[in-house]
C-alpha cells in the first residue's frame, strides 16, 4: 500500500471517529450504554463526568441526568425558532446552546470563574464541568444539597435568583421536569452500580 493511500485511510478513519463523537448516543436512558458509546481513544465521557464529580462534589448520575434532560446528549441542541406569521422561521427564545443548554451570559460567567477560558458548549467535557460548577454554586447560593437532583434542576432552570424567589412553586410543568430529572438520576445511579 502506498504512503498516500495509507494517509487517506488514516485521515478518513479520523474524521469518522470525530463525527461519531459529535453524534448523539443511540441509547440515552441507560447511562452505562451512554458511556460505552462514548468512551474511546478520542473522548471519554465517563472520565469527564467523574472529574466533574470530584471537582464539584455533584454525583455523576445527577450530572448525566441534567444533561440528558437538557439536550438528550446532543452537542448542537438549541431551542426551536419561533415562527413569524406562523410559517417563517424567526428568533430563538433564548441563547441556550449545546449539551448543557447554557445561556451566553452564564457560560461566560462559568469560563471566568472556572478559569476554563477555551470551554465550548459543544464539548461534552466542558458541558459536564459546567453543570457541576452550576450545581455546586446552587448548593452554596441556595442551600440545596449536592445530591438533591430535584432542587438542583429547579435552580438550573430558574437560575439562582429565580429559585430563591420561589418562581418554581407556581410552575407545575417545571416541577414535573425536575421530578423526571431526579427519577432519571436515581435510575442512572442504579445502572452505574451494575456497570461499574
Q: How many CA atoms lie within 13 A of 184 on its CB side?
A: 24
CA-to-CA separations, 84 to 78, 81, 90, 91, 98, in angstroms, rounded: 18, 9, 6, 9, 25
pLDDT at residue 185, as a whole number: 98
pLDDT of residue 85: 61
196 residues of the chain, pLDDT tens digit each: 554 444 444 344 443 344 344 567 778 999 999 998 866 655 799 999 999 999 999 999 999 999 999 999 999 876 554 555 666 664 444 568 899 999 999 999 999 999 999 999 999 999 999 999 999 999 999 999 999 999 999 999 999 999 999 999 999 999 999 999 999 999 999 999 998 6
Helices 60-71 and 45-56: crossing angle in degrees, nearest 10, is: 120
The pair phi, psi for residue 118, each rounded to 5°, is: -100, 10
Number of helices and strands in the chain (H, E): 8, 2
Orientation angle between helical segments 45-56 and 124-142, nearest 10 degrees: 20
Helix (H) or strand (E) holding 64: helix 60-71
- Does the domain at 3-195 match CATH 1.10.530.10? Answer given as yes
Tell me the pTM.
0.83
What nine digits make up the cell of 50?
467523574
- Kindly list the domain boundaries of the chain, sorted by start residue: 3-195
pLDDT for 41:
52
What's residue 19's pLDDT? 39
Give the count of beta carbons closer than 10 Å to the beta carbon of residue 169: 11
Residues 6+ apart with CB under 8 A from 49: 35, 60, 63, 64, 128
Pairwise CA distance, residues 127 & 133, whole Å = 10
pLDDT of residue 180: 98
Q: What pLDDT score does 195 carry?
A: 85
H/E element, 83: strand 83-84
Amino acid at each position: 500500500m502506498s504512503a498516500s493511500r495509507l494517509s487517506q485511510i488514516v485521515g478518513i478513519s479520523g474524521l469518522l471517529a470525530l463525527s461519531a463523537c459529535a453524534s448523539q448516543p443511540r441509547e440515552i436512558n441507560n447511562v452505562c450504554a451512554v458511556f460505552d458509546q462514548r468512551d474511546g481513544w478520542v473522548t471519554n465521557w465517563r472520565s469527564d463526568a467523574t472529574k466533574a464529580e470530584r471537582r464539584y462534589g455533584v454525583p455523576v448520575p445527577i450530572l448525566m441526568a441534567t444533561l440528558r434532560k437538557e439536550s438528550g446528549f446532543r452537542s448542537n441542541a438549541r431551542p426551536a425558532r419561533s415562527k413569524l406569521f406562523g410559517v417563517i422561521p424567526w428568533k430563538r427564545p433564548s441563547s441556550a446552546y449545546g449539551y448543557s443548554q447554557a445561556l451566553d451570559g452564564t457560560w461566560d460567567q462559568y469560563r471566568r470563574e472556572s478559569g476554563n477560558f477555551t470551554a465550548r458548549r459543544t464539548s461534552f467535557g466542558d458541558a459536564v464541568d459546567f453543570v457541576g460548577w452550576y450545581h455546586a454554586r446552587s448548593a452554596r447560593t441556595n442551600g440545596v444539597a449536592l445530591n438533591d437532583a430535584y432542587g438542583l434542576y429547579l435552580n438550573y432552570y430558574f437560575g439562582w435568583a429565580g429559585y430563591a424567589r420561589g418562581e418554581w412553586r407556581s410552575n407545575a410543568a417545571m416541577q414535573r421536569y425536575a421530578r423526571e430529572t431526579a427519577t432519571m438520576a436515581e435510575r442512572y445511579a442504579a445502572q452505574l452500580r451494575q456497570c461499574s
